[in-house]
Amino acid sequence: MNLRPIALLLSGAAIIATPLHAQLKVNTDYSEKDVGFKLKNVPPPAVNDAAADATIKIVAGQGNRGTGGLPVLTDGAMPTDPDEKKSSFCFSDVENGGRLVIDLGKVIAVKTVATYSWSAGSRAGQFYRLYGSDGEAKNFNAAPDRQIDPLTCGWKGIAKVDTRDKPPGQHAAEVTSPRFEGLGKFRYILLEIEQPDPYDPESNTMFNEIDVIDVKGPDIQRAAPGQKLVRTYKTDDGAYSFTVDATLAPDLLNWSEKVLMPVVKEWYPKLVDLLPSKGYTASHDITMVYKPDANVMKGTPAWAAGSELSLNADWFRGQLEGEGCGCVIHELVHVVQDYGRARQTNPNPSPTPGWVTEGTPDYIRFYIYEPKTNGAALSPDRAESVKYDGMYRISANFFNYVFSKYGTDLLQKLNTAAREGKYDDDLWLKWTEHSLDQLNDEWKKSIKRGR
């Protein structure tokens, strides 16, 4: 890729920044296959570069919550699969890119800035403008938002990187210089990142690593391709498969295989049978990925997105003989629910309230899967304070009362309405001849009686 001048559109005017010097080079390369970023023109990611101890933050735009967050950009680790969210960072799909600032902590002679991305689709290409600053200008702005031209507040334009002409796969770009002072003396590095495809809102680049190499730094150590620890299990009839990715939690693989998988293989088909609806087929291939609590799960035990479960490795380590299996059952119910399907099948879907979405999995978990735990029981002294829409275990307790009294087929009716985008509070009156408020009052009285 030849070096191009930086061009910014600000207030309708094009501002051109020429390269800092003629020896600067922008090298790019790619591979459609997994080669561990061992490319001809750009070396693999560095492990001990200056960015490893730097601070990185978003100064414009917002990150995609489903990805690994900013720390993955400087951890020296490599993804094992394309579009691997836990090992990537990208901006939110509601944004056209954004701006990242790397604070190196002190002024250094920057030899190289390199970026790496890997996607099987539209998130592979890189398109950004690179700036640097020593932070000493009187008008220096360390966090310029989209409306501010960095060139007007103490930043120097370095280069423009563009790999959009390459197919999906592993993309790498290296901005470097053989000069004694490298690209220049900087404390701050700014990347102004744009979507590779302005017409595709889901094309924000899936960045895996950003390296900043010091001219006077240590000999650079390069990352080695990650070794995946993945196992796939099938139900006895081969109808359903479950893939466990324990790459980041190898100590949990044995429990997953010996304890969790027998439960999953027995109960997932049961969950599918519990929640049928006309024309609907539940996912046959489920993936479960263990992820760290820090910076990724952030205290949440687990969540489901489509047919992939993200499991908090730190939380599960403390629940191997406790709530581990039950938590997975809850998330598998979400997979089967698939209430997002309504947006594709119903031109005007009504939203399903959160207490229905979350109460249903806990009802199935605590009243069908593990009723002996009494995990959703409510003591009489809580009767006055609870309400049917209290979410999770509280709503599960409400469902148990209503389903037990007015018919267990209400579970299927409720699920079908939600999946088809037809849920309405008035449906309770149709199903039970009692309004939701009346059912709530009945239920609270039963709790007070200690039923």
Residue ranges making up the domain that contains 93:
6-214
Residue 160: inside a domain: yes
Q: Are residues 302 and 381 in the same domain?
A: yes
Q: Are residues 144 and 260 in the same domain?
A: no
3 state DSSP class of 414: helix
* Residue bearing tokens 């061009």: 7
Q: Are residues 335 and 204 in the same domain?
A: no
> pLDDT class for 11, splitting at 50, 70, 90?
very low
Among residues 181, 214, 247, which one ends one of the domains? 214
Q: Are residues 195 and 251 in the same domain?
A: no
Residue 90: inside a domain: yes
Residue 222: inside a domain: no
Exposed e or buried b per residue across 292-328, where buried means at least 16 C-beta atoms within 10 angstroms of its C-beta: bbeebbeeebbebeebbbbbbbebbeeeeeebbbbbb
Q: Are residues 208 and 253 in the same domain?
A: no
Among residues 179, 214, 249, which one ends one of the domains? 214
Q: Are residues 237 and 165 in the same domain?
A: no
- The CATH number of whichever domain residue 406 belongs to comes to 1.10.390
Continuous segment of H or E residues that includes residue 266: helix 261-274
Residue 223: inside a domain: no
The contacts of residue 91 (CB under 8 Å, 6+ apart) are 61, 62, 63, 64, 97, 98, 193, 204
Report pLDDT for 47: 86
Q: How high is the mean pLDDT of the chain?
A: 91
Higher per-residue confidence, 344 vs 207: 207
Q: Are residues 296 and 395 in the same domain?
A: yes
> pLDDT class for 8, splitting at 50, 70, 90?
very low
Residue 221: inside a domain: no
Closest by CA position to 217, among listed 45, 24, 50, 47: 50
Higher per-residue confidence, 305 vs 127: 127
Report pLDDT for 20: 54
Could you report the per-residue pLDDT of 93-148, keeping only the tens digit for each? Answer: 888 999 999 999 999 999 999 999 999 989 999 999 999 999 999 999 999 999 99
- The CATH number of whichever domain residue 157 belongs to comes to 2.60.120.260
Q: Are residues 42 and 141 in the same domain?
A: yes
pTM exceeds 0.75 for this model: no
Q: Are residues 199 and 248 in the same domain?
A: no
Could you report the per-residue pLDDT of 19-39, keeping only the tens digit for each? Answer: 456 679 999 999 988 888 989
Q: Are residues 170 and 51 in the same domain?
A: yes
Report pLDDT for 225: 67
